A and B are shown apart, each in its own frame.
Chain A
Amino acid sequence: MRSLRIGAGQGFYGDSVDGALDVARGGEVSYICFDALAELTMAILQKDRFRDPAAGYARDLPAFMTALLPECRARGIRLITNAGGINPAGAAAAVRSVARTLGMDDLRIGVVVGDDITSRIDELRAAGAALANMDTGEDVSAIRDRIVFGVAYLGCAPVVQALQMGADVVVTGRVADASLFVAPMVHELGWSLDDWDRLAAGAVLGHLMECSAQSTGGNFSGDWWNVPDLDRAGYPVCEVRQDGTALLTKPAGTGGRVCFDTVKEQLLYEVLDPRSYFNPDVVADFTSVQLRDAGPDVVEVSGVRGRERTDSLKTILGYLDGYAGTCAIGYSWPDAVAKARRSAALIERMTERAGLRPLDRVVELIGVDSTHGSAAPIPDDANEVVLRVCARFATEGEAKRFTRIATPLGLNGPPFIGGGVAPQSARALLGVWPSLLPRSLVEPSVEVLVEEAAAV
């Protein structure tokens, strides 16, 4: 039976390139797929684009390409990345520049555009798209004048097209994480785009690989202390067969662990209803997935069933939602919790006296309740506590003033400060508005262009 080996090269914007290099050198793969995007990342890239219209893609993309292209070109490994963010054309230009610098003028670079709906919101609404919030049902008019970006999650089809056009590197914007991995399976294994069980198998594999080492021993909640060498965690590699069954593993000689217990945790990461995992290409049933230990650091993935994809694509709109200012002070034993609480009360009064009006605020005692809230017992003899107060304001000016509001407490407040935290600058807050959009309003605008690096 025909099979294909695909590796994962990146789990988030900011990931190290070392995992991808290990996959390129020792994974015996034909493709490496890179997931650089998350909802939070889109917001970060939008802030970049605010400052510089030429930005808006993952800034580490040139560094990734500089390190990887020499390794991958020699082995014929093709690369697929959504690091284009909200500016895939700009990202493709950056890749062309790297390729020329490396003397790879004939490197074929594909770019997928059309997921960006920022400038089309009113047109889409006029065409009948409600863009209501799919979690809360709220009407989009509540945020319309504050929207700063909008993207639709595309499926594998435009990436498959780029591969058919001979692209060595494919750069996209918001192609769904798992679909980056499904594309080479469809292209190489000849899967039809209505073969729901195989596409679901591909989506499951993509889902297991898109967060780099989270399926190979990273963030493992079992006996994590026995997982070897996470300083050089092996990124996932899968050997997928024509029938959609697969072996999930990692490059030889790398750290981490691939077994039923590590892989199952990733299977449900960021999953809502496991029977209906909505992907642009298919609706996958995660309760059908069979995971089986098939050898040291090898897990077999089989049994996956899927259903026909829906007529909608998920869309997220980012909208401005005020500004956050943060102040933080550390307090040492004795009575660290009591001192931090008194300090929080003082900050509240100082805020009021300064005429600042927070829209809302969060008070955390880091070391006590910031992760577990009311479920955590309050220690009566804590050695140290960091008080962190973060408040949201309508204006950036207020948020900036708030970041300095607690400074006098260094001399004027409760005693024995320590473990101080440097003041953080005020930051814009972006709300994310999830909604659904008919495919027919998005897919006709998707374009695929493949050119050699020396072109243009």
Chain B
Amino acid sequence: MTRIQLRDVAQARSGDKGDLANVALFAPSDALYRAFLREVTPERVREHYGRFVRGNVDRYEVPNVRALNFVLHQALDGGAARSLRSDPLGKSYGSLILRMEIDVSDEELAGVDTGRRPPVA
């Protein structure tokens, strides 16, 4: 098994709906989609988001785009127009999930480019 950070392999986008936020996590391959299903549980996501999420976390499977969609309840400090936070819409929640580390097998990681980085300058 290898420990990877989701930012090395995954895409993500978050959005707001009242005091709910959604975080969609996209796998680059079928094998990693199955690994995400095993590793990125709603319980782990709930813990990972810490104080930001006061309610439950639901997880939905979207295999047609190899995605897991997480719905975070009571996650936006009452909603965008009510929030005291500097990110009232939870725009950065998508990046927060990419910080999570998971264990994957070499077979699951096969053929996936994990080294893509932007140029510094």
- Residues on A lying within 8 angstroms of B by beta carbon are 38-40, 43-44, 135, 219-225, 261, 264-275, 286-291, 316, 318, 321, 324, 360-362, 364, 366, 370-376, 388, 390-392, 429-432, 434
14 A-B contacts (beta carbon < 8 Å): A224-B118, A265-B12, A265-B13, A268-B22, A268-B24, A269-B15, A321-B82, A373-B51, A373-B52, A374-B50, A376-B99, A431-B82, A432-B19, A432-B80
Contacts known (A39-B16, A390-B85); A287 close to B79, Cβ less than 8 A: no
Taking CB atoms, residues of chain B closer than 8 Å to A372 are: 92, 95-96, 99
Q: Is the CB of B79 within 8 A of A431?
A: yes
Q: How far is the CB of A292 from chain B (nearest CB, A)?
A: 11
Taking CB atoms, residues of chain B closer than 8 Å to A266 are: 13
Number of A-B contacts (CB under 8 A): 150
Contacts known (A286-B62, A371-B96, A375-B50); A265 close to B85, Cβ less than 8 A: no
Q: Which of B31-39, B67-75, B102-110 contacts A (4 or more CB under 8 A)?
A: B67-75
B64 in contact (CB, < 8 A): yes
Taking CB atoms, residues of chain B closer than 8 Å to A43 are: 80-81
Taking CB atoms, residues of chain A closer than 8 Å to B15 are: 269-271
Taking CB atoms, residues of chain B closer than 8 Å to A371 are: 87, 92, 95-96
Q: Is the CB of B51 within 8 A of A271?
A: no
Q: Is the CB of A364 within 8 A of B26?
A: no
Interface of chain B, main secondary structure: mixed
Q: Is the CB of B84 within 8 A of A361?
A: yes
Given contacts A221-B98, A270-B22, A318-B81, 13 further A-B pairs with CB under 8 A are A39-B18, A135-B20, A220-B11, A261-B26, A265-B12, A287-B62, A288-B64, A324-B84, A370-B86, A372-B99, A373-B51, A390-B84, A432-B82
Q: Is the CB of A272 within 8 A of B17?
A: yes
Taking CB atoms, residues of chain B closer than 8 Å to A261 are: 11, 26
Interface centre among B15, B65, B96 (most CB of A within 10 A): B65
Q: Is the CB of B69 within 8 A of A268?
A: yes
Taking CB atoms, residues of chain B closer than 8 Å to A264 are: 11, 26, 65, 67
Which residue on A lies nearest to B10, using beta carbons? A221
Taking CB atoms, residues of chain A closer than 8 Å to B116 are: 223
Interface centre among A266, A271, A360, A362 (most CB of B within 10 A): A271
Q: Which of A360, A370, A429 contacts B87 (CB 8 A)?
A: A370
Which residue on A lies nearest to B81, using beta carbons? A43
Q: Is the CB of A287 within 8 A of B11?
A: no
Taking CB atoms, residues of chain B closer than 8 Å to A270 are: 15-17, 22
Q: Which of B12, B22, B65 contacts A291 (CB 8 A)?
A: B65
Taking CB atoms, residues of chain A closer than 8 Å to B57 are: none
Contacts known (A135-B19, A223-B116, A374-B51); A432 close to B67, Cβ less than 8 A: no
Give 3 nearest A-B pairs by CB, closest first: A270-B15, A268-B24, A43-B81
Question: Interface code B1-32, partner A: CB below 8 Å = 1, 0 otherwise?
Answer: 00000000001110111111010101000000
Give A98 to B94 CA distance when docked, in angstroms.
41
Taking CB atoms, residues of chain A closer than 8 Å to B11 are: 220-222, 261, 264-265
Taking CB atoms and an 8 Å cut-off, the chain B residues in 49-66 that contact chain A are 49-52, 58, 60-65
Contacts known (A390-B85, A431-B78); A275 close to B60, Cβ less than 8 A: yes
Give A273 to B59 CA distance when docked, in angstroms.
9
Q: Which of B12, B18, B73, B118 contacts A434 (CB 8 A)?
A: B18
Which residue on B lies nearest to A268, using beta carbons? B24
Q: Is the CB of B63 within 8 A of A287?
A: yes
Q: Is the CB of B22 within 8 A of A321?
A: no
Q: Is the CB of A321 within 8 A of B24?
A: no
Q: Is the CB of B26 within 8 A of A430?
A: no
Q: How far is the CB of B121 from chain A (nearest CB, A)?
A: 11
Q: Is the CB of A370 within 8 A of B18?
A: no
Q: How far is the CB of A325 from chain B (nearest CB, A)?
A: 10
Taking CB atoms, residues of chain A closer than 8 Å to B64 are: 287-291
Q: How far is the CB of B32 from chain A (nearest CB, A)?
A: 14
Interface centre among B12, B86, B87, B116 (most CB of A within 10 A): B86
Q: Which of A135, A269, A366, A374 contacts B13 (CB 8 A)?
A: A269
Q: Is the CB of A370 within 8 A of B82?
A: no
